[in-house]
């Protein structure tokens, strides 16, 4: 079975048939699929079909087989799913076009220092259909997960972000990446580093930001990814710090150049003792491990003033500027 994650081409669906009734007719099913020249691979009670042949097989299953005992997957890295969920994968085929046609751009959101001068921009992906209509990020990434396209989407977003970073060479560019989508940093990230070199971008300008921190289970793998970036001269940040139970340990373990306190503990912090305790705890840990503390999601002046007084060095949020199609270099 080919790697659906690494290449955006027609999906291959692997099916697994179980149960006495289903297995009793499997020989006839495989013979039919073979006659139709749609069978790409078979192994005992498993076989693989191209996407354009899947709906016909589903219709047959609904009429003649116990569908609860027919399972599928679109990647060897994904768990087996019930046949009933295959429609979800087929219905989000549009994500392939978004990735192939690179129907995405980046918007720039400023990150400021204590003097409220622009220190950096976070480059945030924005997506659209071919007709120009907007597709929201949560819809995009959900579709990519369902179809096993997370690596391809993450790579496309990183490449677009690096291209956009070339226009703000005097400022740092924070670029999101999803560590769970990376198989091997040497292979999966080499195109990103090659593009930065081709564009003449100083590696220290790029800050790769680990998102979905709470979903990272293989810390050793994440360390390898970050070590690769560091060896190439890039910096990295830990996003959404304060979420989950393991981020304090991760902060100490990974020692990122930048620690981004989650907005949940930023908004209203000036009047909330619990949020203040969390903000101070992570500030102390950041300074202890050598990370620059950054508070994101600031919408009110009073929260900015409180965090600045405590010792936070960088700030991001609608108070300083929303994501815009072009970077705004004028300081607030």
pLDDT in tens, 31-68: 988 888 888 888 899 999 999 999 999 999 999 999 99
- How far apart CA 317 and CA 300 sit, in angstroms, is 9
Residue 313 near residue 261 (C-beta atoms within 8 A): no
**Contact residues for 138 (Cβ-Cβ < 8 A; gap 6+):** none
What pLDDT tens digit does each residue of the chain (332 aa) get? 444 445 577 899 999 999 999 999 999 999 988 888 888 888 899 999 999 999 999 999 999 999 999 999 998 878 899 999 999 999 999 999 899 888 999 999 999 999 999 999 999 999 987 777 888 888 998 999 888 888 889 999 999 999 999 989 789 999 998 887 777 887 778 888 999 999 999 999 999 998 865 567 778 888 888 998 999 999 999 998 886 645 788 888 899 999 999 999 999 999 999 999 999 999 999 999 999 999 999 999 999 999 999 999 999 999 999 999 999 865 44
Alpha carbon separation from 182 to 179, 192, 197, 228 (Å, rounded): 5, 12, 21, 12
Smallest CA-to-CA distance from 13 within 197, 119, 171, 148 is with: 148
* The pLDDT of residue 40: 83
- How far apart CA 257 and CA 316 sit, in angstroms, is 16
Chain centroid to CA 279: 26
Provide the Cα torsion 152, 154, 157, 162; round to 10°.
Answer: -110
**Fold of the CATH domain 94-316:** TIM Barrel (3.20.20)
Q: What is the residue extent of each domain of the chain?
A: 12-91, 94-316
pLDDT in tens, 235-276: 999 998 886 645 788 888 899 999 999 999 999 999 999 999
According to DSSP, the residues that pair with 171 across neighbouring strands are none
């Amino acid at each position: 079975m080919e790697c659906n994650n690494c290449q955006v081409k027609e999906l291959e669906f692997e099916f697994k048939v179980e149960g006495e009734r289903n297995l009793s007719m499997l020989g006839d099913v495989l013979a039919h699929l073979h006659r139709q020249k749609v069978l790409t691979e078979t192994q005992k009670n498993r076989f693989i079909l191209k996407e354009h042949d899947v709906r016909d097989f589903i219709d047959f299953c609904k009429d003649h087989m116990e569908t609860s005992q027919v399972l599928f997957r679109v990647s060897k890295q994904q768990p087996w799913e019930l046949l009933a969920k295959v429609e979800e994968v087929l219905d989000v085929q549009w994500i392939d076009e978004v990735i192939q046609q690179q129907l995405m751009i980046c918007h720039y959101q400023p990150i400021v220092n204590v003097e409220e001068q622009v220190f950096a921009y976070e480059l945030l992906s924005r997506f659209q259909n071919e007709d120009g209509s907007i597709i929201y990020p949560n819809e995009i990434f959900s579709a990519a997960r369902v179809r096993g396209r997370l690596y391809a989407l993450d790579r496309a977003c990183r490449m677009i972000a690096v291209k956009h970073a070339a226009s703000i060479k005097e400022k740092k560019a924070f670029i999101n990446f999803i560590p769970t989508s990376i198989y091997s940093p040497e292979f999966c990230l080499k195109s990103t580093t090659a593009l930065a070199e081709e564009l003449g971008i100083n590696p220290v300008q790029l800050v790769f930001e680990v998102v979905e921190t709470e979903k990272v289970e293989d810390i050793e793998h994440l360390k390898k990814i970050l070590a690769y970036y560091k060896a190439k001269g890039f910096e990295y940040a830990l996003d959404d710090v304060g979420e989950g139970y393991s981020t304090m340990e991760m902060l100490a373990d990974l020692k990122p150049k930048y620690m981004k306190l989650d907005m949940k503990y930023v908004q209203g912090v000036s009047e909330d003792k619990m949020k203040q305790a969390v903000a101070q705890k992570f500030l102390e840990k950041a300074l202890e491990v050598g990370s620059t503390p950054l508070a994101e999601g600031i919408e009110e002046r009073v929260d900015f003033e409180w965090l600045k007084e405590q010792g936070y060095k960088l700030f991001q949020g609608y108070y300083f500027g929303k994501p815009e199609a072009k970077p705004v270099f004028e300081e607030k």
